[in-house]
A and B are shown apart, each in its own frame.
Chain A
Amino acid sequence: MNLDQMQSMWQAHSEKLDECMSLNKKLLQKIQAEGNKSELHNLILTRAIEGIVFFCIVLSLGGYMASSWSLTAPVVSAFVLNIFAVVGLAGSIGQVALLSKVDFSKPMKETLNDLIAVRTHSLNVFKLLILSAPFYMAYVFLGYELFFGVDLFSLMSVETTIRFSVIALIFGLLVALLINKLKPENRGNKIIGWLYQEISGRRLTHLLDQFENMEKG
């Protein structure tokens, strides 16, 4: 079969489809009544819920700082964690805004670019959030204060403080290395590739590959 024969067959197939295919309007109306939820809609909803969670965290931590204001480890920890919660909140709002802009009636490359903008934004938010890893003790200090009413830092010896500081420094170096490696060109690496898929979503990663292939012609 050559392309012309294929085209003739396709035209005949199209005509048959117009004659013999039926649309289940009842089911369509049922789906519409249920909100016509698309994958994109679900993704926007997920990001919006994430935003609400971050907003609640920001409010709670803000409330805690206001009520216990002093230069203690739990309050400083709450302040540090609040910065990351604000980043998360801004990230979720940004994601909702970008996802809402995605228009499937645009030319394919433009739609892909919109989706890639979502992916890039998601990746940047992840990079900012992962910066909280070296501050892991902030979670511990705040947790001890909230659950046991104990300021753990004030009970720690100098040796223990130095030990935790060294671990934080190592975390800091690892995070810096990871952020440096977290680029599209390194997706061939097993760990980076896996992280990419998990952060940006398999669909968007798949799309990025398609886009790159198209650019190569």
Chain B
Amino acid sequence: MSVDRHGMYLDILDKHKGIVFKVARSYCSNEFDREDLVQEIFAQIWRSLDTYNDSFKITTWMYRVALNVAISFYRKDKIIAYKHTEMEDKLLSYDMEAERENEQSLSELYAFINGLNDIDKAVLLMYLEGESQSEIAANLDITIANVSTKISRIKQKLKAKAS
């Protein structure tokens, strides 16, 4: 493992760990599964590091990796459950007190995201991050019209939930 590569890896994770946390929380409501997903995303970021080039924003690239891992992540077995009992530490720790006042609204927001299907979740997460529809389309490799339709449907769902 080269020092430069390892240093770059730690630097990227440290600066953009929030992306991994948000994707993991959006795709895994179960805390134990979430920790596994975080670990899996970190492993794939390490594996894909050589494919990164400057033509992408690093955040866009990280979203790609994190979302691709999240949508392909599927585990519900006893071996993993056993592993949890051994793993007391977490890769990402977060002081929930900092958002105590917003916790209920945040929980509702994540609950809404959790209720969407995996592709819609990806669209919404990138939309919330401020990515343009063309960027979202490029990241998913679908048409802009498809992205637009999905966003309209998400808006309708949100409206229906509010009423």
What is the interface of chain A, defined by CB distance below 8 A to chain B?
1-3, 6-7, 9-14, 16-25, 27-28, 31-32, 36-41, 103-112, 115, 202-203, 206-207, 210, 213-214, 217
Contact = CB atoms under 8 A, between A and B. Distances in A.
B94 A104 contact: no
Given A13-B102, A108-B71, A24 B46 contact: no
Interface string B48-69: 1001100000000100110111
The prevalent SS among residues of B at the interface is: helix
B34 interface: no
Interface in B104-148: 105-106, 108-109, 112, 117-119, 122, 127-130, 138-142, 146
A107 B89 contact: no
Nearest to A38: B43
Given A39-B75, A103-B51, A217 B162 contact: no
29 contacts: A2-B158, A2-B159, A7-B130, A11-B128, A11-B130, A13-B102, A13-B106, A18-B18, A20-B95, A20-B98, A21-B92, A21-B94, A22-B93, A22-B94, A23-B92, A24-B91, A36-B43, A38-B40, A38-B47, A40-B44, A104-B69, A104-B72, A105-B52, A105-B64, A106-B64, A108-B64, A108-B67, A203-B72, A217-B149
Contacts of A32: 1, 6, 46
Interface residues on B, range: 35 or more
Contacts of A3: 127, 151, 154-155, 158
B22 A17 contact: yes
A57 B112 CA distance: 53
B81 to A, nearest CB: 16
A207 B128 contact: no
Contacts of B122: 108
Contacts of A28: 10, 13, 42, 91
B14 interface: yes
A28 B93 CA distance: 13
Given A6-B128, A115-B72, A23 B22 contact: no
B129 A10 contact: yes
B17 A21 contact: yes
Contact of A21 (B21, B138, B149): B21
A38 B69 CA distance: 10
Interface in B22-40: 22, 39-40
A115 B108 CA distance: 33
Nearest to B71: A210
Contacts of A11: 128, 130
B10 A25 contact: yes
A40 to B, nearest CB: 7
B98 A31 contact: no
Nearest to A211: B119
Contacts of B149: 217
B40 A105 contact: no
A4 to B, nearest CB: 10
Contact of A19 (B98, B102, B146): B98
B141 A105 contact: no
A214 B17 CA distance: 28
